[in-house]
Amino acid sequence: VFVKAARMATNEISAGKSAEKWKVFRDASEAREELGLQSNSLAVLDALLSFYPENELRQDAQLIVFPSNAQLMLRSHGMAGATLRRHLALLVEAGLIIRKDSANGKRYARKNRDGEIESAFGFDLSPILARSEELAMIAQKVVAARSAFRKAKENLTIVRRDVRKLISAAIDEGADGDWSTIEGMYIDIVARIPRSPTMADVTNILDELELLQSEVLNQLHIQKDSAFNSINDAQMSDP
């Protein structure tokens, strides 16, 4: 089954295709969560790639590495054997590598007289080449989402501080209105911000805060309007 899958994976790679392995590794690292991997899985993937002698992964090459678990443990920063095996299984599950088992399950390469590898048993890296564009796209998406998230959080902070200032100023200046109720609403909204919010959390809270913000501004405008007795109506209304 695995051999068949491996053949299928290599067959899907268009002729002459190649990719720089560490570039794909960085993309896969960005796509870590989407792939269902943990940070240590990446350490193992790093180790696996380090056993491939070339920098370029080529479609016409044998993309099989065959390090022993002991070697992999060393190059995975001393990771324990049981943990290493789990992460290898995760990488297989994520579809980044394919097991190519020998009859006895051990990893090795059989070489001919010229020293060329005739057949190798270990891990097939060809899915990494096959999916290089896909991984790059996921990485791009993740980076974009991260910066959008950062911007949303910045927005939230700005609006939050603004509303807080407006309410405090209104109370200090003794403006008309039920400011203690409004302050209570503000405190309630802010208290519902989770410790590590998701994008949805941030946008929801931001919506509520902006609603509250416009209510506060509305209150203050009404008051100013009456105070200035509609002389400045043209300037007070929104552009």
Partner DNA sequence: AATTAGGGACCATGTTGCTT
Partner DNA sequence: AAGCAACATGGTCCCTAATT
Interaction site with DNA (CB under 7 A): 38-40, 68-70, 79-83, 85-89, 99, 101, 103-107, 194-196
**Beta-ladder partners of 123:** 65, 99
Q: How far is the CB of 230 from DNA (least distance, A)?
A: 50
Q: In this structure, are residues 39 and 146 in contact, taking their beta carbons and an 8 Å threshold?
A: no
Q: Report the amino acid identity of residue 174.
A: G
Residue showing tokens 């380090």: 50
Q: Which is nearer to DNA, 65 or 212 (CB)?
A: 65
Compute φ and ψ for 78, nearest 5 degrees: 75, 25
Q: In this structure, are residues 96 and 35 in contact, taking their beta carbons and an 8 Å threshold?
A: yes
Two tokens at 121?
A: 């048993």
Q: Which is nearer to DNA, 103 or 200 (CB)?
A: 103
- Using CA atoms of 87, 75, 123, 136 in order, give the dihedral in degrees to the nearest 10: 70
Q: How far is the CB of 92 from DNA (least distance, A)?
A: 8
Q: How far is the CB of 104 from DNA (least distance, A)?
A: 3
Q: How far is the CB of 231 from DNA (least distance, A)?
A: 52
Q: How far is the CB of 73 from DNA (least distance, A)?
A: 9
Sign of CA dihedral 77, 82, 109, 54: negative
Q: Which is nearer to DNA, 85 or 164 (CB)?
A: 85
Q: Which is nearer to DNA, 40 or 50 (CB)?
A: 40
Q: Which is nearer to DNA, 38 or 157 (CB)?
A: 38
Two tokens at 161?
A: 């501080």
